[in-house]
Amino acid sequence: MILTVTLNTALDITYRVGALRPHTSHRVSDVTERPGGKGVNVARVLAALGHETTVTGFAGGATGRAVREQLAETPGVRDALLPVAGATRRTIAVVDELTGDTTQLNEPGPQTAPAEWGAFLDHYEELLGGASVVALCGSLPPGVPVGAYAGLIKTARAAGVPVLLDTSGEPLRRGVAARPDLVKPNADELAELTGSHDPSRATQDARRRGARTVVASLGPQGLLALTPEGRWRAVPPTHEHGNPTGAGDSALAGLLSGLVEQLPWPDRLTRAVALSAATVRAPAAGEFDRAAYEKLLDRVTVTGGTTAA
């Protein structure tokens, strides 16, 4: 079982408009709602790939109920979310159909009480007993300690469960120091962590700070991976136009599934890049265009080798 942790779950709402213009009213042509938050998106993609997945984190209020109701209708995903008094957040993506650009609005999430956080720690430790790997994903809701991910990483390591981290800012900095097996920042998050805008140098710095493997997401330029086995670069054949929301989550799903299946690194990166690009073509985060994904698998370019990193 793959365990994904989304402390700040969300109801993802996507609006499509003909053209997004400030200071005007818009007629929405299409609306989609999906259970979201990074780890939930990852779990939905993993389930579509055929992997048994459990999601945990917090859910509360009417929005939390909507998230759980939709998760119950998602084959292959087990809901292990904990209830909280506060209301689960909403994230709003507005897709401009003229330009293909997406504007994202993210609410902060519910205030989490110390007792709720303590209950989650116990719950998490129990879930690790059945997990082959765990992914810690996304932002922290108000009230959760900034070092939360660092603590969760240490708990996973003590249980002998490989742990992947995908977050940003101070939670990422503290989490890297706890020595996760893999971190997957985007270019901006990596630069904020290391102070370097050179991805090659920044990935080396992130490894020195504690991460065993660093996979940097470079948007349309693909992925850069620095691992104990070597360094690779994986690039999609073309720049996909569409909604990029959730593309990074799909890339993480590709890396997780490749780890569980014990694929060599070039195959893991190929899958991650193909899934990410195919997600841009999908209507909402946590989904991918399967036909596009299968075509892209043969067209992703991977360079590098197994020289010690």
Helices 247-260 + 265-280 axis angle, to 10:
150
Nearest one of 167, 223, 228 to 193, comparing CA atoms: 167
Nearest one of 214, 167, 211, 160 to 189, comparing CA atoms: 167
- The answer to whether residue 249 is catalytic is yes
Q: Phi, psi (5° rounding) for residue 299?
A: -120, -5
Give the Cα-Cα-Cα angle 12, 75, 53 (nearest 5 degrees): 80
Nearest one of 126, 155, 157 to 56, comparing CA atoms: 126
Q: What is the largest CA-CA distance in the chain?
A: 56
Burial environment of residue 32 by CB neighbours within 10 A (0 to 12, 13 to 18, 19 or more): middle
Alpha-carbon distance 88 to 59, whole Å? 6
Of the candidates 79, 249, 267, 289, the residue annotated as catalytic is 249
How many other CB atoms are found less than 10 A from the CB of residue 180?
A: 30
Alpha-carbon distance 124 to 202, whole Å? 31
Q: Which two tokens stand for residue 81?
A: 């979310």
Cβ neighbours of residue 214 closer than 8 Å, sequence gap 6 or more: 182, 183, 184, 185, 190, 203, 206, 207, 225, 226
Strands (E) located in 150-243:
163-166, 182-183, 213-217, 223-227, 230-235
Catalytic residues: 249
